[in-house]
A and B are shown apart, each in its own frame.
Chain A
Amino acid sequence: MNSLALFAAEGEVAAATGLTAYAWLLIALPLLGAAILLLGGKATNAWGHFLATALSWASFVLGFLMLIAMIGRGHEERAMHVGGWNWVPAGQFQLETGLLIDQLSIAFVMLITFVGSLIHVYSIGYMEHDSDRRRFFAYLNLFVASMLLLVLADSYLLLFVGWEGVGLASYLLIGFWNHNPAYATAANKAFFVNRVGDVGMSIAIMFMFFTFGSVDFATVHAGAAEAGSTAMTALGLLLLVGACAKSAQFPLQSWLGDAMAGPTPVSALIHAATMVTAGVYLVVRSHDIFNAAPNAQLAVAIVGAITLLYGAIVGCAKDDIKKALAASTMSQIGYMMLAAGLGPVGYAFAIFHLITHGFFKAGMFLGAGSVMHGMKDRVDMRGFGGLSGYMKITWVTFGLGWLAILGVPPFSGFWSKDKIIESAFIGEGWRPWVFGGAAMIGAGITAFYMSRLFFMTFHGKKRWVDEHEDAERGVHPHESPLTMTVPMMVLAVGSGLLGLVLSWGGMFSHWLEPIVGGHGEEHPVLPIPVIMVLTLLLVAGGAAYAWMLYWRDDVPETAPRGSLLTQAARADLYQDAINEGLFMRPGTHLTRALVFTDGKGVDGVVGSLAASVGGLSSRLRRLQTGYARSYALTMLTGVVAVLGALWVMN
């Protein structure tokens, strides 16, 4: 039994008091920033980015104070509810807007506002020379506000508002440099794929209303256990569709790689640390639904396992530093999904990995941005090499992120990812072997492709020409300004220590326990030390193989043809071709047929209808002669007609 359902049974989650009652401000502050920057126009050009950054930090401070207040309260009284106004009063359907501030949402608030604010700071340097900097910061603020609404909402409908809000911000930011048609296309692709998920989400919300008569978390979660497993399976699968699109999970993963068209800080914040993890949040938040639907839960785990291998394989073949990181993001979210699909044993670890990943992946993206900054915006790693000597801070901070994602103890990733691998080995029958095996092999591949990325960029021979030798093609690698490197350093500290701190004495799991529910002591099918040692061996093997190929040996400057698997991975395992063949072409033909019917049939009817209304109008218009005498006659006729008709009827 979990606390939310308990609270719902006893009555309500306690109404917020003290500072927490002002939780709306968390969302309102960045939203205000976005409004000022978008409406203020050029007048805000000079100081707009500082305002946006300040408001984001203000949100963080507020959230941090709320966290402290929450820690001060007892274990079971930490969740609080802030009421809003009656948003949708439609007959039986009453929807109050409200915010739910509990252990889960506050963890997200901290991640979003802290990493978000750091990235605001970073962007001040990164976007310094962009003529549209104000618009960029406005969108960033809009994103932070929407993401906070998403995680703080107390109902699925309000969550959906935030869900669409982050989608909008993501769309606007991927296509930020929309003068490049390829970037605009990338934005559209993300938009379309996300519509698929949104349809799933909207049907899920309607389904909830149909089943429970309500869409707020408390009612839905309290009723999930009694609603029958068929209904809950359907609901769980619909939510999974939404989660897959937003979190770039198989089979709706295709947009994430292209989304790297956006400015790098955007990739770090939206497409690595926060927005793409919304799907994981959704699954964990809806754990009551998934607990009541073992099949849907299994589907979540399968999707996670497939995606973690898929992303890892694609990541091995990418030469574009951002796309390789994107593939890695996909794979890491696959880990989180897998954990979320394991049920109560995994929820806390899914969120734990989400938080640590938010830090180290954002840090690595910012590092990639810093490298691009120093390399004339080039992204092809085959043109890098040996940069460690030129960009010391970037190298060290990136290195910490690299160690974290590899899962090397005692860095952050070890504490979270290793727990997921251990949990994947829990269970009966084939599942622990398949899921555990996938997670463990994934860790090995991750070690290979992340080391490949790290070595190709920072080590080995330099494969670029200095500016002095060739002014045209040459580059002049240099360290980025402090506004960029300080956020990287902060995130690197997080990559290094956060995992250790949060897992000290199982702190984070205990923190989330009232929300996601505890679980008994369960043992993996293999002893834990064996799993750990095997994993570390695989990681070491992957890293060593990468060292041989990309540090010790020379890296060819043009990509070799490679094996069939490499070619397939380079083409994202043909995801676009499959989408085109399966959905786009039949869709195009269907659309053509519909357009034809519409043009000939529907428009014909509508057109003639409009023409007849127009004809009637011209004829009636003649009655309006302009003579007062004929107007009076019309009136008199009307009076006589009405009186006569009523006299006849009565």
Chain B
Amino acid sequence: MTAALTTLPTAFEAVKVDYSAVAPMLVVVAAALIGVLVEAFAPRTQRHAIQVGLALVALVASFAVLVLVSVDHRTVTVGGSLAIDGPALFLQGTLLIFAILGVLTMSERFGGRSADAFTPMGAATPGSPAESAADRAGFATSEAFPLTMFAVFGMLMFVAANDLITMFVALEVLSLPLYVLTGLARRRRLLSQEASLKYFLLGAFSSAFFLFGAALLYGYAGSSDLVRIAQAISTADGAYEGLLLPGVVLVLIGLLFKVGAVPFHSWTPDAYQGAPTPVTGFMAAATKLAAFGAILRLAYVGVEGSRLEWRLGVAAIAVLTMVVGAVLSVTQTDIKRLLAYSSIAHAGFILVGVLAFDVTGVTGVMFYLAAYGLATIAAFAIVFLVRSGGSEATHLSQWAGLGRKHPVIAGIFALLLLAFAGIPLTSGFTAKFAAFAPAISHGGLAGIIMVVVGVLASAVTAFVYFRLIVLMYFTEPTGDDVVALTPSIASTIAITVGALGTVILGVIPGPILDLAGRVSQFIQ
């Protein structure tokens, strides 16, 4: 490095891109763009089929490229803004599986026209003649699929973002389509639109925190690159020491909003309840995974050097998240809100693993995210099936006696609930173990306290899940109008994969745990 280079502005230099490493992302974004063209040019009657096919083919292709090509190109690329390393690849692969399952559940139409998850015309006023006309004409919001693909693209980028600016762009790319998807529910549209607006407003609010924090960190380190920030912390040569802590906290808060940590969780129950149920499942699994991927990278690559200053604050948030999520799930009467609070509690459990600051913590978190996501997508797919008079029967009382009428559906749902509760021989137990064990061995006193709180909170949530199982199996049905629709082959696959994954990760977790363990080292 010559002196001239450091003092003079360098000539513009095109960044090097390792296309093999980023190919999975390119496949997804290409499919999303083609999807927009399909919306514009394909005949209305065929759009749904084309979009579903396109999305699935692209996701499978992306996964194949990831597994076959990208794994051998672990590198920091695109001028240092994307790090395709072990954790990024593992999380991207898991994301793609979630996306495939999510698209499968979103494509569910029950063979008819008016039972699918999405409103026939998103722009129409709820209850207006335009809406009913669109319904009669059999319109469908097939835009949902390109939107999903854009969100997946953002998530893929999010978990690999090695730079605060890239991270912010990824955050917005994944968030904006989700805001729109949230407002597209077919039934209870006002609730759905309200949820969408709340999610958008609070999301914008949290993005502002993230940006502000990023600006402070740039001021501290003179770079938005995570590696540079880490160097600045380790050499303690930051120009303005006082900017570091607020910067770290504000950036983290922007990310913690996305995982639904308390007190930034308020949007979660409303958005989960209002969004079309398959979207909720996808959102719960994939957003949580992507956001935790970003948190891991920020915490382990970027600001790990100053962790003693900020980790207690995050530990307090983790404890609060577990307690509030668990306690509030006790009084929920709506199945989707119950699962929302459950997801909040799970976010707390995962944070415990994050705060271990050890590679085994990364392993545990990644395993937890995979296990939780599989169970969640299947659980919401089942919620989508249980209907009363055409609309979803989300009130808990309507689930009474479901086990007698639909033993298979209720049985799978009970299995997923057991996994959420962390009962052995399900993925939930292994996941909790994998996330809590590093916190005990590497987290010091704070880690032990968090694990104790975590176990107590698990006991509270277990009560909620068991009560639901009791309700399904040992309570007389309230009315005869609650039925579980017969799923199409697509959602059957999604539910089966979710349930099988839950069992396999519980009974023989070895291979996936080993895999997660082998790839848990970030490229610095």
B313 and A85: CB pair below 8 A? no
Contact A642 B330 (CB under 8 A): no
CA distance A279 to B269 in the complex (A): 57
The smallest beta-carbon distance between A106 and chain B, in angstroms, is 29
> Known: A613-B327, A617-B328, A646-B249. Is A634-B313 also a contact (CB below 8 A)?
no
Given contacts A624-B269, A642-B316, contact A650 B463 (CB under 8 A): no
Instruction: Decide yes or no whether B202 CB sits under 8 A from chain A.
Output: yes
Measured in the bound complex, the distance between the Cα atoms of B197 and A626 in whole Å is 12
| Most chain B beta carbons < 10 A, residue from A89, A620, A637, A642 | A642
Asked if B201 CB lies within 8 Å of chain A CBs, one says: yes
Contact A616-B202, Cβ < 8 Å, known A85-B508, A635-B257: no
Interface residue B460 (Cβ < 8 Å from any Cβ of A): yes
B510's partner among A85, A613, A635 (CB-CB below 8 A) is A85
Once the chains are docked, how many angstroms separate the CA of A86 from the CA of B514?
A: 12
Interface residues on A, range: 20 to 34
Q: Which residues of B contact A613 (CB under 8 A)?
A: 327, 330, 460
A635 to B264, Cβ gap below 8 A?
A: yes
Q: Give min CB distance, A86 to chain B, whole Å.
A: 6
- Asked if A614 CB lies within 8 Å of chain B CBs, one says yes
Q: Does B270 sit at the interface, judged by CB under 8 A?
A: yes
User: B211 contacts the other chain (Cβ, under 8 Å)?
Assistant: no
* Residues 621-650 of A at the B interface (beta carbon under 8 Å): 621, 624, 626, 628, 630-632, 634-635, 637-639, 642-643, 645-647, 649-650
CB distance A642 to B324 under 8 Å?
no
Q: In the bound complex, do residue B202 and residue A646 qualify as a contact, i.e. CB atoms below 8 Å apart?
A: no
A650 to B313 Cα, complex, angstroms: 11
| A631–B245 CB distance below 8 A | no
User: Once the chains are docked, how many angstroms separate the CA of A614 from the CA of B331?
Assistant: 7
CA distance A629 to B363 in the complex (A): 38
B349 proximal to A (CB < 8 A): no
B202, A631: Cβ atoms under 8 Å? yes
- Given known contacts A613-B330, A638-B264, A643-B249, is B313 in contact with A631 (CB within 8 Å)? no
Tell me if B444 is interfacial: C-beta within 8 Å of chain A. no
- Given A613-B327, A645-B316, A650 contacting B264 (CB threshold 8 A): no
Which residues of B are found within 8 Å of A616, using beta-carbon distances?
327
Check if A635 sits within 8 Å of B270, measured CB to CB: no
Interface mask (B182-220 → A, CB under 8 Å = 1, otherwise 0): 000000000000000110011001100100000000000
B33: chain A residues within 8 A (beta carbon): none
A575-609: which residues lie under 8 A (CB-CB) from chain B?
Answer: none
Q: Nearest Cβ distance between residue A295 and chain B, in whole angstroms?
A: 38
Whole-angstrom CA separation of A613 from B463 in the bound complex: 11
Q: A624 and B330 in contact (CB under 8 A), knowing A86-B510, A646-B313?
A: no
Given contacts A635-B206, A635-B266, A639-B250, contact A628 B330 (CB under 8 A): no
B322 at the interface (CB under 8 A from A): no
- The listed residue with most B CB atoms (<10 A of its CB), out of A86, A634, A635, A647, is A635
Q: Mark B251-263, 1 if CB is under 8 A from A, else 0.
A: 0010001000011
A69 beta carbon closer than 8 Å to chain B: no
Contact A618 B331 (CB under 8 A): yes
Q: How far is the CB of B372 from chain A (nearest CB, A)?
A: 22
Q: Does B310 contact A (CB under 8 A)?
A: yes
Q: Looking at chain A's contact residues, is the secondary structure mostly helix, strand, loop, or mixed?
A: helix
Which A187-244 residues have C-beta < 8 A from chain B? Answer: none
A65 located at the interface, meaning its Cβ lies under 8 Å from any Cβ of chain B in the complex: no
Name the B residues within 8 Å of A642 (CB-CB). 249, 253, 313, 316-317
Shortest C-beta distance, A626 to chain B (Å), equals 7
B328 engages A647 (CB within 8 Å): no
> Closest CB of chain B to A372's CB: distance in Å?
37
Partner of A617, one of B246, B310, B327: B327
* A610 interface hit (Cβ, 8 Å): yes
Q: How far is the CA of A614 from the CA of B327 in the complex (A)?
A: 7
Known: A85-B510, A613-B460. A621 touches B266 (CB 8 A): no
Q: Are A620 and B312 in contact (CB under 8 A)?
A: no
How many angstroms between the C-alpha atoms of A624 and B341 in the bound complex? Answer: 12
List of B residues within 8 angstroms of A618 by Cβ = 331
Set of chain A residues within 8 Å of B270, measured between Cβ atoms? 626
Contact-residue bracket for chain B? 35 or more
Which residues from B are CB-within-8-Å of A626?
270
A649–B206 Cα distance when bound, in Å, is 24
By a CB distance below 8 angstroms, the chain A residues around B316 are 642, 645
Is B309 positioned at the interface, with any CB of A under 8 Å from its CB?
yes
Interface contact A646-B324, CB-CB below 8 Å: no
Are A89 and B510 in contact, CB atoms less than 8 angstroms apart? yes
B300 beta carbon closer than 8 Å to chain A = no
> How far is A649 from B327 in the complex, measured between Cα atoms in Å?
29
* Contact (A628, B327) CB under 8 Å given A86-B510, A650-B245: no
* Bitwise interface map of B from 316 to 332 toward A, beta carbon under 8 Å scored 1, else 0: 11000000100111110
Contact (A621, B331) CB under 8 Å given A89-B510, A646-B309, A647-B245: yes
A44, B309: Cα distance in complex, Å: 66
Measured between beta carbons, the chain A residues less than 8 angstroms from B246 are 643, 647
Cα(A27)–Cα(B63), bound, Å: 36
Given the known inter-chain contacts A634-B263, A635-B263, please indicate yes or no for A628 contacting B198, CB distance below 8 A. Answer: yes
B331 surroundings in chain A (CB, below 8 A): 614, 617-618, 621
| Interfacial residues of chain B within 226-270, with CB under 8 A of chain A in the complex | 245-246, 249-250, 253, 257, 262-264, 266-267, 269-270
B270 to chain A, nearest CB (A): 7
**Which residue of B is nearest A634, CB measured?**
B263
Residues of B within 8 Å of A632, CB to CB, are: 201-202, 205
Q: Nearest-CB distance from A318 to chain B (Å)?
A: 43
A residues 86-117 with Cβ under 8 Å of B? 86, 89
Are the C-beta atoms of A631 and B327 separated by less than 8 Å?
Answer: no
**CB under 8 Å from chain A, chain B span 314-360:** 316-317, 324, 327-331
**Most chain B CB neighbours (cut-off 10 Å) among A617, A621, A626:** A617
Which chain A residues lie closer than 8 Å to B267 at the CB level? 631
Measured CB to CB, the closest approach of chain A to B512, in angstroms, equals 13
How many Å lie between the Cα of A637 and that of B205 in the bound state? 13
* A650 & B317 in contact (Cβ 8 Å cutoff): no
Q: How far is the CA of A637 from the CA of B209 in the complex (A)?
A: 13
Instruction: Looking at the assembled complex, report how far the CB atom of A92 sits from the nearest CB atom of chain B, in whole angstroms.
Output: 15
5 pairs of A and B residues whose beta carbons are closest in the complex: A638-B263, A631-B266, A617-B330, A617-B331, A642-B313
Residues of A within 8 A of B (CB): 85-86, 89, 610, 613-614, 616-618, 620-621, 624, 626, 628, 630-632, 634-635, 637-639, 642-643, 645-647, 649-650
What are 21 A-B contacts defined by CB distance under 8 Å?
A: A85-B510, A86-B510, A613-B327, A613-B460, A614-B330, A617-B328, A620-B324, A620-B328, A624-B328, A628-B197, A628-B202, A630-B266, A632-B205, A638-B263, A639-B250, A642-B316, A642-B317, A643-B249, A643-B250, A647-B246, A649-B312
Not counting A628-B197, A635-B205, A635-B264, a sample of 8 additional A-B residue pairs whose C-beta atoms are within 8 angstroms of each other reads: A630-B266, A631-B198, A634-B266, A635-B202, A638-B253, A638-B263, A639-B249, A646-B313
